[in-house]
Structure 1
Amino acid sequence: MPNVFEKFSLLRSCVTDLDDIRRITRETLEDFINDNVIYAELRTRPRSFHNGKIPSSSYIDAILEVMKEYEEKICSRLVLSIDRTQTLEQAMETLKLAENYRTHIVGLDLSGDPNVKSFARFRPVFDLAKKINISTTIHIGELPDEECLNENNLIIDYKPTRLGHFNFRTNDQEQRVLREQIPLELCPTSNLLTMNLLDLTEHHFDLFYKNKHPLAICTDDSGLMNCSLSSEMFHVAKTFHLKKKELYEFIFQTSNLIFDKNMIAFCQKKLNIFSQQSNLF
């Protein structure tokens, strides 16, 4: 686990100007297009460059500029990330950016090194996000330690729009999430590494899938994890013996979980057309 977050930090240090972030955004979108993805939510932590001479708003503008270039090929939206190591003031600035760019920024994320237990500190930010109707997603249960399990309760109490990972949890927490139907984002390859699983058969996808829980399969960082959405879907389908119809229905229900609710009908229409053209059933 520590090595993973060291790599995230190293990657971040390689991005030194707006041209870098434009290139990364462009290559990310091209990868998704080549993978036949029709809707993508990209996550990024806003940052400034050159000691604040280039503000974080310019960072956002650069990403949105590239997204606009590709809007005829893929519907992409932005989710702004708050890092667990940041201050409350920095987190509030991120929320303000999300509010100022409501058209293309569809949510707020809490992620980063789970060794830093910080949700209680950021609770005012997420309460405000909920008040102004900004969707939220929070990484939860990434470590098996007691502090992490205790923080799980605080996050579940808040009831974000979606939860990320949920690798380590108590039975009571598991039942609460099932009962309250809080959607989960699962990243199989990333979770295998985080949980030190022998193989995917040990993954908690099966438990929640069998309970008909709202789920989305995600890639975490596809470059770092050396995976694509197709490869993640393939491994899940193969491991848990999903038939074509079951896989299609799973992907279809995932479309209900996207943050830009105006795009649900569009995504489902595309999926229906694909199923008809491919003679899936």
Structure 2
Amino acid sequence: MTSQTLNTIPNPQQIRRAPKALLHDHLDGGLRPATIVELAAEAGYDALPETDADRLESWFRASADSGSLERYLETFSHTVGVMQTREALTRVAAECAEDLAADGVVYAEIRFAPEQHLEKGLTLEQVVEAVNEGFREGEQRARADGNRIRVGALLTAMRHAARALEIAELANRYRELGVVGFDIAGAEAGHPPTRHLDAFEYLKRENNHFTIHAGEAFGLPSIWQALQWCGADRLGHGVRIIDDIQEDGGGSVKLGRLASYVRDKRIPLELCPTSNLQTGAAPSYEEHPIGLLRRLHFRATVNTDNRLMSGTSMSQEFEHLVRTFHYTLDDMQWFTVNAMKSSFIPFDERLAMINEVIKPGYAELKSEWLFRD
């Protein structure tokens, strides 16, 4: 490592100040613990395992650290349980935008499943409109605090259910009204994306964008189906692409045909390091595939997945990577530009964000090194 490289390794304050772009974050996985407690009291939801915000936060983290994706997903019954009214959805969305902006995130795509918020009589349309209202409110609060953020919504269909086409049509109707794309989520095993081909074919006919959770708990077949059968623009996680890459121990690396295709086609990988450790997709930060994928110049991006369950933020994700792989501000910028290039907003708006916000932000941080004692 050169002295110049050492001089550009960011400290935690610089990491937080650095402009960041987030593509994979679940609305129902990022609530403030105190908000859950308050919303539960208001709604008469009495199933919370803890009613003290600090203890509840610890419970979420411990439950998510089980190493099982299935158990990890069970924690969402409580967050979804308190997100069943327009007021609750708007509040949660506003706080989401506000929290991300305070962490230096300048662009975020936040996903949620409208079909999971209908228990108290809301329609799918009312759910989408409540969340979008919250995102706009959160953006305004962020500006008032001296921060900036743009938030787009991704509408998620649950892969074990049968409403994917309906949600895809909903995403298309709201595509100029705050919704930037579509996603499917849920347990991969036994629920292949090919069950929802009608939704993906519809979105392709409408020239709309979509990402698919693939290559997290399940392996290469899930990635192959998402790309070759469904035509996904991005891979939600995609971390198991590492199974198609061989290292011989002497520095030589051989890519299989699927891995080569993903790299050659510049297919974005929505990598979520801390979440991957919790679900067993990676054994440690040191052994997380992101290190090799970065070296091989895959279109890798850094994401939070579920900030509450993982006890994380974008800054914390980068802190782990900086500490583990000695990443510099240049590496952080590379991941951030990758994410912005891969976002679902129009090209000219992506370019403006890169050239007018992200690159100047990193240039300012790098210039600080010139004036160090």
**Fold equivalence (TM over 0.5):** yes
TM-aligned CA distance change 1:57 to 1:35, over 3 Å: same
Unaligned runs of 5+ in 2: 1-67, 144-148, 245-255
User: Of residues 155, 166, 172 in structure 1, which corresponds to 2:226?
Assistant: 155
Once the two structures are TM-superposed, the CA of residue 105 in structure 1 deviates from its matched residue by 0.7
Q: Say if 2:341 is the partner of 1:256.
A: yes
Question: Of the two, which has the highest radius of gyration?
Answer: 2
Q: What is the CA–CA distance in structure 1 between the aligned matches of 2:277 and 2:119, rounded to whole Å?
A: 37
Q: What is the CA–CA distance in structure 2 between the aligned matches of 1:96 and 1:60, rounded to whole Å?
A: 13
Once the two structures are TM-superposed, the CA of residue 237 in structure 1 deviates from its matched residue by 2.2
TM-aligned CA distance change 1:250 to 1:118, over 3 Å: closer
**1:69 alignment partner in structure 2:** 137
CA distances 1:128-163 after superposition (whole Å, capped 9, x unpaired): 11221211111112225xxx5433321121331110
TM-aligned CA distance change 1:94 to 1:243, over 3 Å: same
Q: Say if 2:167 is the partner of 1:98.
A: no
Q: What is the CA–CA distance in structure 1 between the aligned matches of 2:288 and 2:83, rounded to whole Å?
A: 33
Q: Within 5 Å, give how 1:128-207 maps onto structure 2.
A: 128-144=202-218, 149-157=220-228, 158-169=230-241, 170-171=243-244, 172=256, 173-195=258-280, 197-207=282-292
Q: Within 5 Å, give how 1:225-244 maps onto structure 2.
A: 225-244=310-329
Identity, % of aligned positions = 26
Q: What is the CA–CA distance in structure 1 between the aligned matches of 2:92 and 2:102, rounded to whole Å?
A: 15
Q: What is the CA–CA distance in structure 2 between the aligned matches of 1:198 and 1:151, rounded to whole Å?
A: 20
The answer as to whether partners of 2:154 and 2:180 remain within 8 angstroms in 1 is: yes
Between stretches 199-208 and 114-123, larger displacement belongs to 114-123
**1:8 alignment partner in structure 2:** 76
Once the two structures are TM-superposed, the CA of residue 50 in structure 1 deviates from its matched residue by 4.9
Once the two structures are TM-superposed, the CA of residue 221 in structure 1 deviates from its matched residue by 1.0
The answer as to whether partners of 1:256 and 1:264 remain within 8 angstroms in 2 is: yes
TM-aligned CA distance change 1:264 to 1:40, over 3 Å: same
The answer as to whether partners of 2:194 and 2:225 remain within 8 angstroms in 1 is: yes
**1:111 alignment partner in structure 2:** 185
TM-aligned CA distance change 1:280 to 1:41, over 3 Å: farther
Q: Say if 2:195 is the partner of 1:121.
A: yes
Once the two structures are TM-superposed, the CA of residue 92 in structure 1 deviates from its matched residue by 1.2
Q: What is the CA–CA distance in structure 1 between the aligned matches of 2:268 and 2:168, rounded to whole Å?
A: 22
> Which amino acid letter does the alignment assign opposite residue 98 of structure 1?
A
Once the two structures are TM-superposed, the CA of residue 168 in structure 1 deviates from its matched residue by 2.9
Q: Which runs of 4+ in 1 moved over 6 A?
A: none
CA distances 1:39-82 after superposition (whole Å, capped 9, x unpaired): 1111010135356x421101111111122224453211000001
The answer as to whether partners of 1:162 and 1:183 remain within 8 angstroms in 2 is: yes
Once the two structures are TM-superposed, the CA of residue 280 in structure 1 deviates from its matched residue by 5.5
The answer as to whether partners of 2:184 and 2:213 remain within 8 angstroms in 1 is: yes
User: Of residues 118, 122, 128 in structure 2, which corresponds to 1:60?
Assistant: 128
CA distances 1:163-217 after superposition (whole Å, capped 9, x unpaired): 0112334423323322332110000000111226442111111221111111211
User: Of residues 272, 276, 280 in structure 1, which corresponds to 2:359?
Assistant: 272
TM-aligned CA distance change 1:155 to 1:46, over 3 Å: same
Larger relative contact order (CA 8 Å, sep ≥ 6): 2
Once the two structures are TM-superposed, the CA of residue 122 in structure 1 deviates from its matched residue by 0.3
